[in-house]
């Protein structure tokens, strides 16, 4: 990866999900996120990619997902776009509700919101765009400012 912004167009496969997670880990490491923050950043990207491939594109190999990593002055941002039918984020069930606690799925958006500092959704035509924002703080921020 070179520069402060890079985009990838990926197939709607689980291999692409794994690849996006690894790319996120490398991007976060390059810009100084420390261990826990780096792992959370990569996991959030993985969950966003899973949503795009599974729920957005329904594993349709004719559709792609786009993953863009960007370094801003005080944040790392990831945009994940799919080509699916879209969804209403307000309609997502609460995974902490008693009736959902034992369900095998439905925690992706919850985890993304937990790991990231900001999450935004936008309906596309077709598809959904999810923007994940992680603030650089502590040693990570000092490293970027040239301090130790």
Q: Which domains does the chain have, with CATH numbers?
A: 5-144 (3.30.565.10)
Q: In what order do the strands lie in the sheet with 118-123?
A: 5-11, 64-71, 75-81, 128-135, 118-123
pLDDT in tens, 95-134: 566 675 666 666 788 899 999 999 999 999 999 999 999 9
β-partners of residue 7 are 68
The answer to whether 50 touches 118, Cβ cutoff 8 Å, is: no
pLDDT in tens, 41-93: 999 999 999 999 999 999 999 999 999 999 999 999 999 999 999 877 776 76
Q: Rounded to two decimals, what is the model's pTM?
A: 0.84
């Amino acid at each position: 990866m070179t520069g402060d912004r890079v985009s990838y167009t990926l197939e709607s496969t689980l291999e692409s999900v794994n690849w996006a997670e690894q790319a996120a880990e490398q991007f976060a490491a390059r810009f100084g996120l420390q261990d826990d923050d780096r792992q959370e950043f990569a996991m959030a990207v993985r969950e966003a990619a899973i949503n795009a491939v599974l729920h957005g594109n329904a594993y349709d190999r004719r559709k792609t997902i786009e993953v863009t990593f960007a370094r801003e002055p005080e944040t790392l941002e990831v945009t994940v776009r799919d080509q699916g039918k879209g969804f209403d984020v307000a309609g997502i069930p609460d995974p902490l509700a008693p009736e959902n606690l034992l369900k095998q799925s439905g925690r992706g958006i919850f985890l993304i919101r937990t790991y990231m500092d900001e999450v935004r959704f936008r309906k596309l035509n077709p598809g959904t765009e999810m923007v994940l924002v992680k603030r650089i703080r502590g040693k990570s921020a000092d490293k970027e400012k040239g301090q130790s």
